Structure 1
Amino acid sequence: MNRVLIFTLLWGIFIAPNSLLYSQNSQITLLDADNSMPIEGVAFQYGNQNGVSNNEGVISFKFIEKQQMQLSHINYGKWQWTAEEVAEFVQNKIYYAQSKTVSLYPVTVIAVKSGQDATERVKIGCSDRMNHDGGEILNQIPAINSIRKGGNYGFDPVFRGFKYDQLNIVLNGAQSATAACPNRMDPPTSQMAPNMMDRIEVYKGPHALRYGTGFGGTINFVPSKLRFTTEPDIYGRISSGYKLNGSVFQSEGQIGLSNKRYDLSLFAAWSQGDNYYAGNGDTIAAGFQRGSFGANLGLKLTDNQQLRLSATYNVARDADFPALPMDLRTDDTWMFNLNHDIRFIDRQLKTWKTTLFGSFVDHFMDNRLKELDPRMMDAETAAKTKNYGGRTEGKWQFNQDILYVGLDTRSEGAEGTRVREFLMGPMAGNILEDNAWQNGQISKTGLFAEYHLNKKNLQFVFSGRLNLNLAKINDATSEFEAVYDKTSSVQINPNLSVGIQKPLNDNMKLSLWLGRAQRSGSLTERFINYFPVGLDPYEMLGNPELKPENNNQADISFEFRNEQTVINLDVFASYMQNYISSAIDTALDPRLPTSPGVRQYMNIDEAFKTGFEVTWLQKLPYGLQSQIGVAYTYAQDLALNEPLPEIPPLDLRIGLNGSYLDN
């Protein structure tokens, strides 16, 4: 009797589920990786079975052991599931497909969530989800370096020598945040919570114009997908880690509740650390405290409509910045996002997506954490920025061709005052105030379109954007107006790009991209008021009379891919006009006696950049994978015949990792 009972229990636990899996018709729901909407019309071939996904994105078939499945869709390309993947997706009952629109561009995709194909993406593990700064994750790409003014916080990306506002950094293709600190202790990438990201897309060159003017490139942080389930479900995770050097404690977690009509999730992350030791034994000031807290609510209004509301609160306390004259004391940021998606059936208009967003940063820094001897002066700066706007875009499909048309608008502003109290010398006891941002404001409104044309073995992408840029100062200082007669401007910036991709065979493809981008100066470049914001102690003076800079760039991309190896080669050449840089102006006097002088933003008539990136990913035996990456950029000021400043050197990276215990 006991033997029968034991056998029955074992059969029920281990054998029955698989028996049901094999004997019954199985279903997998295919959803878009960007908006979680069903994908209709995906054709599949599974042994002798074939079919097409219905309007709910569902494919039905009878499970067969050790059988691969081939799938294809006009917008998502062709792909194949191994027998193990088919079994996994049948168990999960869901699969997210990425539109081939992304793969057309010269792009690197970082998958923050686990489970992605390592031969297609830079794989990110559990420890990266605990990271408190999205900019640090980007350093896994050989072509990207970071400007680090602090040991553990505020990683400001540099790509091919392009930096700051020359890179278009967005959340879900629309939202961003403006650094309140004039020294960029809080760059936009620091406000992106990695534990709530599905992936990070790095678009190379000025070609992804749907998301804005990416003068040198676009970095798009894509949030986690909504998780609708047929039955009520509770899900969650928690992670924690510790780094010995610097005593860095990191943790993150998420808990959610979902059914077929809603998905509500709460998330949190906390990191803190202390000073660390350099290779020569020196102590580097790197203490910090950083947290992210937020919520996502997804509502499936109808079978073809969904609404997503997210709110994130980022907080930072007492972060050391040894390379700067001040340290971060408090930084409080709120980010709100409302997104609506609607899908149309049996029409050329397929989808319409609208996003409203707002980001608000409240930043305070001072020098009281600095060990100064003698302490000549106490200084502090309180600054606030706001960045808000909206984006709307429609997608049309004409047989095999696709058209995107949309409109976006964004307004950003900054205000802040530095207070200096003299403790020693002839000025002892005096307090001076410096208006750092002058309450500058920039509004950008853009109309964009992108057309994908498929002709036999050639795929063309035509992209255009027209931006209206309005800039003004609301609280100009007398010393700033003494230098410039006009402090407001209206500029129109056209942007164009065309790309051609040709598959050479089943394993190789070649792409050529030509683009011209035009960008107006940023808040810092136009309005900063005698503040040391560069990589040297010179005070920087903005220039509201800057001309827009132009980037005329060509990119050539080659890819070889099979089941074991992926090799990518990207070569670019960029001819820039009115390139925004800075020069020392000896006629201007600095505000601080310790400053060596004043740099004024100005235009360089002509500049040139060229370089390459090579990555080679190789699957090895015993669950190992190797990655080799090389990146190099050469940049020259053609007017002065001298190198452009602040260009990263040759970068070589070699990595080896293993995946075991079923990931």
Structure 2
Amino acid sequence: MKGMPQLIDGLPCNYYFVLLFMHFPKTKSNRMKTLYIIAKIVLMAALLALATLGTAQTDTLLLEEILITAKSSTNLYKSSIEGKTIQVENPHDGGAMFINQAGFGVEKRGNYGMEPVLRGFKYSQLTVLIDGGMHSTNACPNRMDPAISQIAPEEIEKIEVIKGPFSVRYGTALGGIINIVNRKPDRSTGKKAAGSIEAGYQSNGGNFYSSMFVQTVHNKFDFSLNAGYKDYGNYKSGSGQKIASSFTRFGYATKLGYQLADNRRLQLTWRQSLAKDILYAGLPMDADKDNSSMVSLDYVAHSLSPVMKSLKVKLYGSYVDHEMSNTLRPAYAAVHAVSPVTARVMGGRTELGLQTFTNNLLYAGIDFKHIEKDGYRERLVYKNTCTGEVYDEPKQFFDKTWQDSNHDDLGIFLENKYEFSPNLFWTLGLRSDYIFYGINDPVAGFEEQYNHKIIPKSRVDISATTSFTWFLPKGYSFFVAAARSTRAPELTELFINHLSVGMDAYEYLGNPNLKSEVNNQFDLRAEKQIDKLILFVDVFYAYINDYITAAVDTTIGRVYTPCQEPKFTKVFYNVDEALLSGFESGINWQFFPRFNYSLSVSYTYGENLSWKEPLAEITPLTVQTALVYKDMKFHTELHARFVDEQTRVAPAFNESRTPGFAVFDFYADYTFGESFQIMISVRNMFDKNYAEHLSRAYKAMDIQSLYFEPGRSVNFGLKYKF
């Protein structure tokens, strides 16, 4: 890759930060040079502030969280997946954590690298943060390696979710924000060293997993190490069909913190994920390896003066090294294909919290993000599948995957929170993003397709949001919000060149003339609390202009294996109007001191208004219900999901209808003394044979099949705390 040093195993973190901070990629644009200089100055000034700030009163230092409000019940439009829930359900993959959450679906191409879909918004329409501001991205054009897959569930303390584009502080968020908060040293234990070790086995697939967490605290220093290993086999569906789903993963994360004062903290984080031999039955290839590295440096200070309430500074970098091949596919007999690809992200953010009045808190900040992707596909062709000719010597071809492309975003934001009274809050946010693209190694045919005008125009995208939160007597509360949010096209949509990256069999071609999507969204949420019973309903309406989709262009033929169907290419386009609307509603009832019952219903309606047909990959009507018993040592839960059939499908993407299903899970754990915990669960108790609507069907496999979910699995785990 040009202009960016690689993240190398064993490279000292402090050296990498020098490279990350001082070695911005070279650019031919004078405007880009100016923006890089501005970003440097802002981030350097923020770092210099670390040495000049004084001490102040003790306050809670929260580096990673984003959902901090004056009133805990102001989470009317926010929600969290707590660590206990993640531990009990024991999901094997980052995306799998969302399957039991109202409003979410999960797109599945393999049993690893699953990806959440929120209210029909997916991919870069959702902003995925790590520890309150760090970003990563996929290197694979088919998204085998979404950002959320680069974090293991055992590393996570909780997940925070903002449904809708109702915060401007963390980047552009067309449909919502997901913040993954990872485990960190707990200084409140009073122990110099503490930790846990866990291991378990799952019957369906013969899956083994293990993890460990250790921390040490000494004076102002603290350090933690979190590591995990998984070896998963091919599971069987409810009908007994073996599903290609195996993978092996090892990952670890370290955090080194220094408590400068009671109200100031400095923290360095380093993590790696190393996965291999990953089968993706829903894609044309499998992953031989999927390695990622991330590093971040954080500084936070609270209560610096009566006016300056907080200062947060974050610098980060990530690197993904991904390789896939068709070695295990039928096509390997004619063509040996391997594709090494890489992705790099580097950036930072600085934010000030200012108490401008007694009842007014203003957040002001700047953030910067640089994404670059490169790679190729090497093909050794032994047989021409169109003519049947077998070559004496294989013919070698190299196909450019990303054309060495990049994306830069410099954002400035203001978000104001005004308290009219202890029961009425008003939030107003404004954000401006300055966006630029580059392509350094274009394919000649791609240039010719667009008359050599392949550099997208730079743009300024404006987002704004306003909301009211109101608490009334007798347990009533309301949240109403409106927002205009934007999403600039991602590199796939701009620069991909005749690769099958969609849910159908077409080759896709990027379009450098795409406009940014604009979401005009309105949300209304109401809650009613009656003693220990909470009822809620949340209705949303998102009207999207310049929605990015893809359509067949009959003037552009298929490039690879042109004799096969479909013979034409799909090109990414903007359509004038699209709609996403729906609701989540439910109850939560603690009917006895140790018993809790919850019920939620969620539905999303998606429509391409310009084409007068449904949007593709929309989660059907889903009902979730759970009965929980919990005391100091014993926890048990019976959970059920009822999913309706999905008949609203997109003909333009050859999307298939899927039948409804019901699936039941049982979880239990018991703590012996202070140290040992045993965990038992039965997933899919009645061995139901079913497939999720968002799971991709088999592609380029020996057989044609839906990607069925696992049948019954009995899981056993043991945890030791010290």
What's the secondary structure of 2:174's corresponding residue?
A: coil
Matches of 1:496 and 1:638 in 2, distance apart?
Answer: 24
The residue that corresponds to 1:643 in the other structure is 614
Q: How does 1:388-537 map to 2 (within 5 A)?
A: 388-397=346-355, 398-424=357-383, 425-426=388-389, 428=391, 429-456=394-421, 457-485=423-451, 486-488=453-455, 489-505=457-473, 507-537=475-505
- Cα distance, 1:97–1:261 mapped onto 2, change above 3 Å: farther
- Cα distance, 1:648–1:57 mapped onto 2, change above 3 Å: closer
| AA matched with 2:399 | D
Shift of 1:263: 1.2
Shift of 1:549: 1.0
Q: How does 1:173-572 map to 2 (within 5 A)?
A: 173-229=132-188, 233-370=192-329, 372=330, 375-397=333-355, 398-424=357-383, 425-426=388-389, 428=391, 429-456=394-421, 457-485=423-451, 486-488=453-455, 489-505=457-473, 507-561=475-529, 564-572=532-540
Matches of 1:232 and 1:125 in 2, distance apart?
Answer: 23
Matches of 1:487 and 1:549 in 2, distance apart?
Answer: 19
Task: Indicate if the aligned counterparts of 1:107 and 1:201 stay in contact, CA closer than 8 A.
Answer: no
The residue that corresponds to 1:109 in the other structure is 79
Matches of 1:97 and 1:521 in 2, distance apart?
Answer: 27
| AA matched with 1:305 | R
Task: Indicate if the aligned counterparts of 2:173 and 2:486 stay in contact, CA closer than 8 A.
Answer: no
1:382-434 Cα deviation digits (max 9, x unpaired): 00000110000000112121110000000001101011122223364212111
Higher relative contact order (CA 8 A, sep 6+): 2
- Cα distance, 1:470–1:427 mapped onto 2, change above 3 Å: farther
The residue that corresponds to 2:106 in the other structure is 146
Q: How does 1:623-638 map to 2 (within 5 A)?
A: 623-638=594-609
Matches of 2:584 and 2:105 in 1, distance apart?
Answer: 13
Task: Indicate if the aligned counterparts of 1:231 and 1:260 stay in contact, CA closer than 8 A.
Answer: no
Task: Indicate if the aligned counterparts of 1:555 and 1:573 stay in contact, CA closer than 8 A.
Answer: yes
Task: Indicate if the aligned counterparts of 1:417 and 1:437 stay in contact, CA closer than 8 A.
Answer: yes
Shift of 1:548: 0.8
| AA matched with 1:141 | Q
Q: How many residues align?
A: 563
Matches of 2:266 and 2:210 in 1, distance apart?
Answer: 29
Give the share of equivalent positions with the same residue, in percent: 33
Q: CA RMSD in A?
A: 2.3
Bigger CA radius of gyration: 1
Question: TM-score normalized by structure 1?
Answer: 0.81
Whether 2:87 is the aligned partner of 1:125: answer yes
The residue that corresponds to 2:669 in the other structure is none
The residue that corresponds to 2:57 in the other structure is 55
Shift of 1:619: 2.0
Shift of 1:473: 0.7
- Cα distance, 1:477–1:163 mapped onto 2, change above 3 Å: same
Structure 2, unpaired ranges of 5+: 1-55, 635-722
Shift of 1:490: 0.2
Matches of 1:420 and 1:374 in 2, distance apart?
Answer: 10
What's the secondary structure of 2:213's corresponding residue?
A: strand
Shift of 1:225: 4.5
Shift of 1:97: 11
The residue that corresponds to 1:41 in the other structure is none
Matches of 2:307 and 2:332 in 1, distance apart?
Answer: 72
Task: Indicate if the aligned counterparts of 1:582 and 1:601 stay in contact, CA closer than 8 A.
Answer: yes
Question: TM-score normalized by structure 2?
Answer: 0.75
Task: Indicate if the aligned counterparts of 1:581 and 1:601 stay in contact, CA closer than 8 A.
Answer: yes
Task: Indicate if the aligned counterparts of 1:384 and 1:416 stay in contact, CA closer than 8 A.
Answer: yes
Structure 1, unpaired ranges of 5+: 1-53, 59-74, 77-95, 115-122
Matches of 1:240 and 1:361 in 2, distance apart?
Answer: 28
1:459-488 Cα deviation digits (max 9, x unpaired): 100011100010111111011111113222
What's the secondary structure of 2:142's corresponding residue?
A: coil
| AA matched with 1:567 | L
Matches of 1:196 and 1:337 in 2, distance apart?
Answer: 16
| AA matched with 2:454 | T
- Cα distance, 1:595–1:365 mapped onto 2, change above 3 Å: farther
The residue that corresponds to 1:578 in the other structure is 546
Shift of 1:552: 0.3
Shift of 1:511: 0.8
Task: Indicate if the aligned counterparts of 1:230 and 1:259 stay in contact, CA closer than 8 A.
Answer: no
